[in-house]
Amino acid sequence: MDGGQASKAALTSMPYQCQELILYGSVFADNLPDLERRLTGLCDPGSTEFHEHDLSFSLRTGTDPDVTIRYLTGTFNLAFIITCACSCCRLRRRFNVDSFNSHQWQFRYIGGPEPDQKCPVIVRKVIDSIAYSHLMMDFVKTLGLRMDYEYIAKGTVWTNGKMKVVLSQIQKTEKAGHYDQANLKRFSDSYLVEMSVCLPDSAEYTAAAKQLRDFADQLLPLVEME
Q: Which of 197, 175, 59 minimizes the C-alpha distance to 121? A: 197
Query: How many structural domains are present in the chain?
Result: 1
By C-alpha distance, which of 87, 70, 86 is closest to 78? Answer: 70
Residue 3 in any domain: the answer is: no
Domain that holds residue 149: 18-217
In a domain, 6, yes or no: no
- Residue 204 CB burial class (10 angstroms; 0-12, 13-18, ≥19): exposed
The arithmetic mean of pLDDT across residues 168-178, rounded, is 86
Which range (10-19, 64-73, 205-214) has the least confidence? 64-73
Q: Does residue 174 lie within any of the structural domains?
A: yes
In 3D, which of 46, 107, 101, 54 has the Cα closest to residue 80?
A: 54
Would residue 114 count as lying in a domain? yes
Q: At 159, which CATH number? A: 2.40.320.10
User: For 175, which DSSP code?
Assistant: S
Number of other residues whose CB lies within 10 A of the CB of residue 109: 18
Element (H, E) at 138: helix 136-142
Give the C-alpha distances (Å, rounded to integers) separating 86 from 79, 124, 134, 142, 180: 17, 11, 28, 21, 32
For 65-124, the pLDDT digits (tens) are: 445 555 555 433 333 333 333 456 666 655 654 555 567 777 777 788 988 989 999 999
pLDDT at 34 > cutoff 90: yes
Res 131: pLDDT: 75
Please name every residue paired with 52 in a beta bridge, in sequence order, or none if there are none: 94, 153
179 within domain boundaries: yes
Residue 219, sorted as left (phi over 0), alpha (psi -120 to 50) or beta, turns out to be: alpha
- Note whether 185 and 155 are within 8 A (CB): no
Q: Give the pLDDT confidence score for residue 78 in this predicted structure.
A: 31
Please indicate, yes or no, if residue 7 is contained in any of the structural domains.
no
**In the chain, pLDDT over 70 holds for what percent of residues?**
73
Report if residue 213 sits inside a domain. yes
SS3 (DSSP) at 39: helix
Q: What is the pLDDT of residue 181?
A: 81
Mean of pLDDT values over 31-37? 97
Q: What is the pLDDT of residue 110?
A: 78
Contact 224, 25 (CB under 8 A): yes
- In-domain check, residue 1: no
pLDDT higher at 179 or 207: 207
Going by their DSSP bridges, the two strands 163-173 and 146-160 should be labelled as antiparallel
pLDDT of residue 24: 97
CA distance 123 to 58: 21
Among 12-21, 33-42, 112-121, the range scoring the smallest mean pLDDT is 12-21
State which amino acid sits at residue 6.
A
Burial class (CB in 10 A: 0-12, 13-18, 19+), 160: middle
- Least-confidence region, from 73-82, 140-149, 163-172, 199-208: 73-82
d(CA 29, CA 12): 42
Residue 193: pLDDT above 50? yes
Identify the bridge partners of residue 121 per DSSP, sorted by sequence position.
Answer: none
